[in-house]
Chains A and B, each alone.
Chain A
Amino acid sequence: MESLIVVLVGILVSVGTYLILSRHMIRVIVGTAILSHAVHLLILAMGGLKKGIVPLLGQSEGEFTDALPQALILTAIVISFATTAFLLVLAYRTYKTNGTADFRELRGVSDE
């Protein structure tokens, strides 16, 4: 199961990287969002995926689910949500003032 998730993470990272390298603002922002999803899955996989056991010590013999990665992911999701929201607003304002959403055309716009 872990290896499957890791492959998924790999696919997501490559999609995200591809999008980040493009010239269009919205694509880049979607790319960062996908990257953040990838890393959330990575954290989950790193904590170990043990199905169906309560995250408490002593409830069952031996194995228990590690609840910490989920807490970490929750925090990271909130943060990436905030950053993405801010980025979208910023991109919109940049588009409004500069009249373009293309990074290459933004280059060298001086401030008049």
Chain B
Amino acid sequence: MNNLIVLPLIIPIITGIILVFLRSSIMLQRVISIITMITVSVISFLLLDIVQTEGIIRLDFSGWLPPFGILFVADSFALLLVLTASVVTTICLLYAFSTIGKDNEKMFFYPFVMFLIAGVNGSFLTGDIFNLFVCFEVMLLASYVLVAMGGKKVQLRESLKYVLINVVASWLFLVALAFLYGTVKTLNMAHIAERVAEAGQEPLLTTVAILFLLVFGLKAGLLLFFWLPGSYSVPPAAVQALFSALLTKVGIYALIRTFTLMFPLNQEITHTLIGIMAGITIIAGCLGALSGRDVYTIGTYNVIIGVGFILIGLAAGTETAMTGAVYYLMHDMVAKALLFLIIGMMVYLTDETIIKNMSGLIRNYPLFGWIYFIVLLALTGIPPLSGFVGKILIGQGALEAESYILLAIGFASSIIVLYSLLRIFLASFFGETTISFEDRKRIPKGAYSSFILLAISIVFIGVGAESLAVYVKDAVNTLINPSVYIDAVLKE
């Protein structure tokens, strides 16, 4: 039964390799990739259910018992994210079928999406910090290719920046790993947690923790987000949606894991730092979103605001706040994916990126316009949509932790999010119709179905928050009591 854990990593990798050989038969590539992603989603849901009854499960590769071997650990938190990531990828693939273009499909688009999701799922599931580094790299290498896919001038320039930033970040990750290994002599995350607790997180370890904060901050776009708006606005829409839904979230996951499991002791330093970084991130993201005149700028800065908001939950650190963070993380993955798919479709329909020049889309595409309105409401946090539960719980947690400044920044950011997205809505969807009904481009059916599926997921996370509560509660329990995780890995 435990062997199931490795499937979310191994199935996409094997499929990716097979797809490389099926380069010329696009239809076959599409069918295989979508079936793979549906299978992975189903498996991760099954795993999530198993974890509820059997507790945290782990898989020791080739029978090396922890702390010596590499292992995968599946707890509810990781599995919720694996599930959301797989579902979102499935839906983004649906969108890609009709929009990505034959050239990209022939240039190994699907294999690299498979490698990307393999890296993402691996990062969520691994229980070994060096393995986390490796999974990060698998994910990043795939993302390097996807950013540059198409090879336009601006893409090449931005991808060069993106790759260089990430190479330096990975280097920093290795430095942090080296110091960590030098200090605690182990790489198993649960074992590190145990050793750190024994040693009482001395200043040296706190320094290492801050190094990790920088590394994951770079990957998540926490404070160090300068690379994000550029590189997220150049690739094709389906890739943008995947990136904004998955990549920064992996960084956030790593941050949450690191600071709840491995370095939870020196909170007045690390968590304060995270709080300050989250606050600045939100403010800077808001300024960016306000100043943007084109859809990409507004969209990418909204990603940054989302990152900051989730990490308020981590900075507050109470049980309520963490519950909120988990909810908001799932919501943000789905909603940001939908936002970017819609933005991509708007650009495709009008050949414009400046919002003023689009105008009047809702007359030609009423359903499309109202789906955008749903995302807008969800991202702002209006009940009963998905953002509401997360926002209210994070806010409540910030109150409990008495971090009123963060609370104020967080909720003020909601208004800015509303304003910036409403600007797109008013300028691009309302107003005079510039393209006549006869001349309009059609929205492909695949794209429509992906919008509708994502919109349904948004409503489901919002309305069905109660049915998710079982899983989220279990996830938060592990985050608040790291001993649950440690015992599951090291006992027996």
A contact residues vs B (CB 8 Å cutoff): 20, 25, 28, 32, 35-36, 39-40, 42-43, 46-47, 68-69, 72, 75-76, 79, 82-83, 86-87, 90-91, 93-94, 97-98, 106, 109-112
Contacts and interface: CB of A to CB of B under 8 A. Distances in A.
B130 A98 contact: no
Given A46-B178, A46-B181, A97-B153, A83 B159 contact: no
Interface stretch (B21-29, B161-169, B190-198, B248-256): B161-169
B156 A83 contact: no
A43 B156 contact: no
Contact of A79 (B137, B148, B153): B137
B174 A76 contact: yes
B152 interface: yes
Contacts of A112: 153
Given A20-B168, A43-B177, A83 B163 contact: yes
A69 B156 contact: no
Contacts of B178: 39, 42-43, 46
Contacts of B177: 43, 72
Contact of A87 (B134, B155, B163, B182): B163
A68 B156 CA distance: 38
Nearest to A75: B134
Contacts of B171: 32, 35-36, 39
Contacts of B182: 46-47
Contacts, number: 90
A109 B154 contact: yes
Given A28-B164, A106-B157, 18 more contacts: A32-B171, A35-B168, A35-B171, A39-B178, A46-B179, A47-B181, A72-B130, A72-B177, A75-B134, A79-B134, A86-B141, A90-B159, A91-B160, A94-B157, A98-B157, A106-B160, A110-B153, A112-B153
B144 interface: yes
A58 B171 CA distance: 35
What is the size category of the interface that chain B forms with chain A? Answer: 20 to 34
Most B-side CB within 10 Å, residue of A35, A83, A110:
A83
Contacts of A87: 160, 163-164, 167
A86 B160 contact: no
Nearest to A93: B156
Contact of B160 (A79, A94, A110, A111): A94
Contacts of A28: 164
B10 interface: no
B175 interface: yes
Nearest to B138: A79
Given A32-B168, A109-B153, A111-B154, A90 B160 contact: yes
Nearest to B131: A75
A43 B159 contact: no
A24 to B, nearest CB: 12
Nearest to B159: A90
Nearest to B173: A39
B293 to A, nearest CB: 15
Contacts of A32: 164, 167-168, 171
A94 B174 contact: no
Interface in B83-138: 130, 133-134, 137
19 contacts: A32-B167, A35-B171, A36-B171, A39-B171, A42-B175, A42-B178, A43-B178, A43-B181, A46-B179, A75-B134, A83-B163, A86-B141, A87-B167, A91-B160, A93-B151, A97-B151, A106-B157, A106-B160, A111-B152
